[in-house]
Each structure stands twice: as structure tokens, then as C-alpha cells.
Amino acid sequence: MESRTFRAEQKLAALTKAPEEAEKKWALLFEGLEATLKKTKGELGDVRVAFVECQAKLIEASRKNVTMEGQRRVNEARHDLTISKSKRAEADIRKSEIRESELALELDAARSQCRLQSQRICSEKLSSNAKDKALVDRDFRVQTVTAEAQSQIHILKQQMARSRSSKSDGSKELIEAVRARSLAQTMVQTLQVKLESEKAELSKQMGIQQELRQQIKILQKERHIEDKRFEGWTAKIEEMCKRKHHPVSILPSVNQHQPVSGRKASNRCNHNRTLVNGADALETLKADSQILRQMRTDLNRARTEVMTKSLEFARLQQHTEAISSKHAEARDLCHSLETKLEVVQQQCVALERSVVMIGQRCIRAESMAAGFESKLKEVKPDIVIDYSYKSREPSAKLYEVISYDDRDFKGNDVDNSIDIGTVHDTTKFIKALEIR
């Protein structure tokens, strides 16, 4: 117990001493805190200045970062663009390679087709000579006909422009158009007759060429026969030249044809007979040489004839080839001219229709003018009408009235050409005059 009390007393003493020590400690701590506060305030000012500087640097860095980000995006876009361009270029290169391979295949096919076409043309040359010449002549005639038709169409157009002034001009142009059409038909008929005559001449030429070919074949056969004969004659002459050193062997022996009893008598005159027989052999040899020379001249003449015939045949063949070379161009040109001729004929038909339509409009305008004149005289008898011609364009309404019923108008009912619409328009016109 005593120990406990002692301890408690010590604790109380310690507790009484503790506030003083605490005050001292707090004073020391307060001084330290004030010093640290001053120091921290100074550091805080420095930190604020550094913070402002850091903020400025941060703003500048953010700006730089934005510009760098923009540059990075631009660079990325350029990079993507270059990649896309490279991919596109690779695709174009692949396409070009594929196109080159296709073009090579097409070129090979075109070459093969050209070869086939050239072979086909060469095979068709001899069979189409008459057609080629006929097509060339027809092409020339069709060109002349188309040129004349175009000139006539130009003249008709000019006359159509003039025919709008009066009905008489339109009727004249219609008559001239009909005449031009009849002239064109007669020209076409004459050209057809000329074409038939040219075809007949070409068939004659083909017959002459066939006869020349047959003559050349006959001359070649004769030349072959003459060559064989010449070879036979040359062999005979060589044999005769060989026998010339032994003339007795050339002549037939007399002993072969005489009997045995007469041989002894004939042997006496053998020497004289051999001399006579040698002279006869020489004469026969001279005659044979003359015949041989004549045969040589005939053979040379035949050869020259064969050469001339072959040259003439070659010339005719070149002529036919020159004609056949123009066949393809003439055919294409003939097709184009046929199409142009059809177009020209259609234009002629359209022009004739327009002439008829203009005549109908002139008739309608005349009837309308007569109606206007009668109505004006009824309304104002003292009016003076100026009948002098003045080229004026009609109004839209008047043109519509004049060109009314152009499709259904047939030109038969001339007196009834003013329809209800035109009468209504005339009444309106007269009412307007009365108001004035």
C-alpha cells in the first residue's frame, strides 16, 4: 500500500511539473512553427513564381503539342495518302499487266485473224474478179449519183426556202422535185444498163483469159513433145556421127538381099559400091541436118510464143490482182454509199412531204386572207388595204392557226380549209378592230 501511495505521489508530482514543461515545449514549438511558417511562405512565393513559370511553360508546351499533334496528323494523313497511292499504283500496275497480257492475246488473235483473212482474200481473189470490177464500177456510179442527188437536194432546200413566199413557188418546186426524182431514176436505170454491159465485157475478158490458159497448156504440151523429138533426133545424129567413120555400116548390105549364086558376082564390085553408098550417106546426112535446123527454128519459135503468152497471162493476172486488191475497200464503200443513198432518198421523201405541207399551208393562208379581207370590208368599207408584199414573221397564234391540222389535211377539200378555230380567230380580230 505504501508503495502504491508513493507511486501515486510521484505521478502527481510529475503531473504538476508537466504543464510547465509543456508550455516551454509549446513556446519552442510556436517559435519553430513561426520560423517554418516564414520559411514556408517564402518557399510558397517561390513555388507560386515557379508555378506561374511552369504554367506558362505548360501552355507553350501544350501549344507545341497541339502543333506537333497537327503535324503528326498531317504526316499520318500524308502517310495514309502515300500508302493508298502506292496501293492504287500497285493495282494500276497489276491492271496494266493484265491489260498488256490481254492486249498480247488480242494482238495474237488479231494477227491470226489477219492471216486467215489474208488467206481467205487470196483464195477469193480469182473467184471474185467479175464482182470486184462490177462493185468498183457501181461504186463510181453510186458516187456520181449521190453527188448529183446531194446537189439536187441542196437546190431543193433553197427552193423550199423560197417557196414559203407564195403558193406558185411551192408548186414549181414540187414539180422540179418530181422532175429531179424522175431524172435520178432514169440515171439509175442507165447506170444499171452500163453495169450490165461492163459485166458482159468482164465475162468476155475472163473467157479470153481461160482461152489463153488453155493455149499455154497446149503450147507447153507441144514443147514437151518437141523436146522429146529433139532428143530423139540428137540421139540419131550422134549415132550417125559415130557411124560416119564406118560408112559401110550405115548402108544396107546388098548381099543380104541377093541369093547365094549372085554373091560371087557382086563381090567384084564391092569397092565401087562402097564409094557410091558413102556419097549417098553424106547427102542423107545433109538433108537430115537441114530438117534438124528447121525443127530447131520451129522449136525456138514455139518457145518465144510460149514466153509471150506467159507474159501476157502474167500481165492479166497482175491486172486481176490489182482489181481484187480494191475489192474490200470497194465493198465497204459500196455499203456506206448504199446507206447514204437510203438517207438521201428518205430526205427526198421528207422534202416532198414538206413541199406538200407548205402548199397546204399556203392554201390555208390564202383562204384565211380572203376571210379577213371580206370581214374587214364588211366592218369598214372605206378601209384602204395595202397589198404590197412585206416579209414579216407571223405570230405564234397565227402560225399555230396556219399549221393547224397538217397531219389530217389531205388537200382535197380546199374550200373547207378554214376550220372552226380559224373562224373564231377572225371574229376576235374583227371585234378588236371595232373596239379601236
Q: Percentage of the chain surpassing pLDDT 70?
A: 51
Position 377 scores a pLDDT of 80
Give the least confident one: 206-210, 314-318, 390-394.
390-394
Helix axes 327-379, 420-435, angle to 10 degrees: 50
Q: Cβ atoms within 10 A of the Cβ of 423, count?
A: 13
Grid cell for residue 255: 548381099
Query: DSSP state, 393?
Result: P
Query: DSSP state, 414?
Result: S
What mean pLDDT do residues 245-264 have?
Answer: 42
pLDDT digit string, tens, across residues 104-120: 787 777 777 767 766 67
Grid cell for residue 397: 397564234
Query: With bands split at pLDDT 50, 70 and 90, how would you rate the model's confidence at 283?
Result: low
Q: What angle do CA 373, 374, 377 make, to 5 degrees?
A: 85
pLDDT digit string, tens, across residues 396-426: 776 677 666 554 444 444 333 334 334 444 4
Q: 405's torsion region: left (phi>0), alpha (psi -120 to 50) or beta?
A: left
What mean pLDDT do residues 306-319 have?
Answer: 76
Helix axes 2-125, 327-379, angle to 10 degrees: 100
Q: Percentage of the chain surpassing pLDDT 90?
A: 0
Grid cell for residue 339: 446507206
Grid cell for residue 214: 488453155
Position 392 scores a pLDDT of 65
Instruction: Mention every residue, 6+ apart, whose C-beta is less than 8 A from residue 263.
Output: 255
| Average pLDDT, rounded, for the chain | 68
pLDDT digit string, tens, across residues 184-224: 667 667 766 766 776 677 677 777 777 777 877 787 777 77
Grid cell for residue 15: 503531473
How far is Cα 236 from Cα 230, in angstroms, rounded to an integer? 10
Query: With bands split at pLDDT 50, 70 and 90, how would you rate the model's confidence at 389?
Result: low
How far is Cα 352 from Cα 429, in angstroms, rounded to an integer? 34
Long-range contacts of 161-169 (CB under 8 A, 24+ apart): 163/355, 163/358, 164/358, 165/389, 165/391, 166/362, 167/359, 167/362, 167/363, 167/366
What mean pLDDT do residues 255-259 have?
Answer: 42
Cβ proximity of 371 and 426 under 8 Å: yes
Q: Cell match 497489276: residue? A: 94
Sign of CA dihedral 355, 357, 358, 359: positive
Position 177 scores a pLDDT of 62
What mean pLDDT do residues 262-275 have?
Answer: 47
Position 144 scores a pLDDT of 67
Q: Which one has a higher pLDDT value, 152 or 133?
A: 133
Provide the whole-model pTM: 0.27
Position 203 scores a pLDDT of 72
Q: Which one has a higher pLDDT value, 334 or 370?
A: 370
Cβ proximity of 406 and 357 under 8 Å: yes
Position 262 scores a pLDDT of 47
Q: Which one has a higher pLDDT value, 145 or 121?
A: 121
How far is Cα 174 from Cα 351, in angstroms, rounded to an integer? 9
Position 316 scores a pLDDT of 75
Grid cell for residue 10: 510521484
Position 105 scores a pLDDT of 80
Instruction: Judge whether residue 22 has pLDDT over 60.
Output: yes
Query: DSSP state, 237?
Result: H
How far is Cα 232 from Cα 243, in angstroms, rounded to an integer? 17
Position 381 scores a pLDDT of 79
